[in-house]
Structure 1
Amino acid sequence: MPQRARPIRTAAVPAALVAAGLLLTACGAPATTPEPDAPARAGAPQKPAVPAAAATLGGPGSACALPVSFALAESWKPEAIENPEDPEFAALTRQGPATVRCEVDAKPSGNIGYLRVWTAPKGPARTALEGFVKAEKGSSAVSYRETRAGALPATEVTYTVRDTLTEETKEERAFAVSTPKGTVIVHLGGLDTDEHRAMLPAYELARTTTKAL
């Protein structure tokens, strides 16, 4: 059953998560990995096993109206962001060229973090993703690669963020796709690197099942 849209959380969202995903400033220069998906090299980290789909987000009747749909892992709870264009909340709902439209809470599944869906105007997915990452405070060790999201061409980025509250560095990642309705960025943060890595299977499920609507 669709969930009721609600305003973007401020005090209700842990400060570390807000700082991780929804603040706007500049970052360091990215590195680039131009190759598409390649066979795993010896000693390279392996992708997490993709869990079974429990629901679909983005299609008719789902919690968030989006230009794409993708599968959600069990117990991940989506909610639409109400009035994301409101200037009063711009510091939380805007990051570079993108506006947040939906956040999927991992807490019911036992992890602390969100899968957030952002939209940007029509244009190359990589250009929007670069602007998105550059606008995230404390980002560094940025690496892009061309890949696929479902059947769609996509650009994926991995990077780290220096959390000013904990003074620790944590991993983040996102992928972006271009659609006739604009660019979509799906971002996974997390309270820390351990939480981020624990949520990667849900992120991979979303990436590998993405479809344009």
Structure 2
Amino acid sequence: MKRNIRNTRNVWNVTRGAVALALAGAVLTGCGEGKPASSASSTPSSPAGQAKGGAAAAKGGSVGAAGSACPLPAVFDVADKWKAKAVEPDPADSPLSGLTKQGQFSMACEIDAKPAGHLGFLRAWTGTATTGTPRAALEGFVGANKNASKAAYKETKAGSLPAAEVVFETYSKLMDESKQERALAVITPHGTLVLHLSGLDTQEQTDMVPALELAKSSMKAAS
């Protein structure tokens, strides 16, 4: 089934609607049944940013500033051809409301990799906290996903900002397999930002790591 989905790239539209519901466990982070999460490790087995043979991503614009596609607590560069779109919270009674909330975080921006030839997204999630540690924020984000396991964290820098990043796995009942995902968190005077990179499968995610690294290296608090 995985091979069939990869051969039909033109139907990869999981942002909203019935397809989003069907693939929620495979593509979107969120709550749901799955294999139980394992204990988090303190050191990543595969540090974020080390895509196999991945070249540096070219800049195609930026988001985060007032007036940009997605005003956020922090500003960062977006890879060339990736398309950013602001996400409005779904009503609480909507069947999709759980897809835009994860723990204390709300999805604020979805940066689509399809125009660049990848099946995945870099999603920006925001929280109101302006104090605490990036790692604690990230642990809360990953811990709110019942399908997450094998989380490996490390402290790092995003631009000049203290940050934490994580490599973890999520299990999909639809695909009957696990895939690797990554996330990065920073805390700013305007709130907390989590960037979450997820693809159709582990290989797609690995191919997109340069886009996350571009965002990470260019990040600064919004003014």
Same fold (TM over 0.5): yes
Q: 1:172/1:12 Cα in 2 relative to 1: closer, same or farther (>3 Å)?
A: same
1:1-213 aligned within 5 A: 9-11=16-18, 13=20, 15-16=22-23, 19-24=26-31, 27-33=37-43, 48-82=54-88, 84=89, 86-88=91-93, 89-122=96-129, 123-213=132-222
User: Matched residues in 1 for 2:125 and 2:118: separation?
Assistant: 21
Number of equivalenced pairs: 197
- TM-score, normalization by structure 1: 0.84
Matched letter for residue 145 of structure 2: E
Contact 1:143 1:159 in 2 (8 A): yes
The alpha carbon displacement at 1:59 in A equals 1.4
Any unmatched runs of 5+ in structure 1?
1-7, 38-43
Percent of aligned pairs with the same amino acid: 44
Q: 1:48/1:152 Cα in 2 relative to 1: closer, same or farther (>3 Å)?
A: farther
User: Matched residues in 2 for 1:112 and 1:14: separation?
Assistant: 17
User: Matched residues in 2 for 1:45 and 1:92: separation?
Assistant: 27
User: Matched residues in 1 for 2:29 and 2:149: separation?
Assistant: 16
Any unmatched runs of 5+ in structure 2?
1-14
User: Matched residues in 2 for 1:198 and 1:138: separation?
Assistant: 22
Q: For residue 40 of structure 1, what is the aligned residue in structure 2?
A: none
* Secondary structure of the structure 1 residue equivalent to 2:77: strand
Q: Which moved more, 1:58-67 or 1:68-77?
A: 58-67
Q: For residue 6 of structure 2, what is the aligned residue in structure 1?
A: none
User: Matched residues in 2 for 1:204 and 1:141: separation?
Assistant: 21
* Secondary structure of the structure 2 residue equivalent to 1:189: strand
Contact 1:176 1:184 in 2 (8 A): yes
User: What stretches of structure 1 move > 4 A for 4+ residues in a row?
Assistant: 44-47
The alpha carbon displacement at 1:14 in A equals 7.8
Q: For residue 4 of structure 1, what is the aligned residue in structure 2?
A: none
Q: 1:51/1:45 Cα in 2 relative to 1: closer, same or farther (>3 Å)?
A: closer
User: Matched residues in 1 for 2:147 and 2:113: separation?
Assistant: 23
- Could you list the per-position Cα deviations for residues 4-62 of structure 1 after superposition, in whole angstroms to 9, with x for gaps in the alignment? xxxx623354843664333225732211029xx9xxxxxx9768432221101111321
The alpha carbon displacement at 1:139 in A equals 1.3
The alpha carbon displacement at 1:169 in A equals 1.1
Contact 1:96 1:131 in 2 (8 A): yes
Contact 1:152 1:211 in 2 (8 A): yes
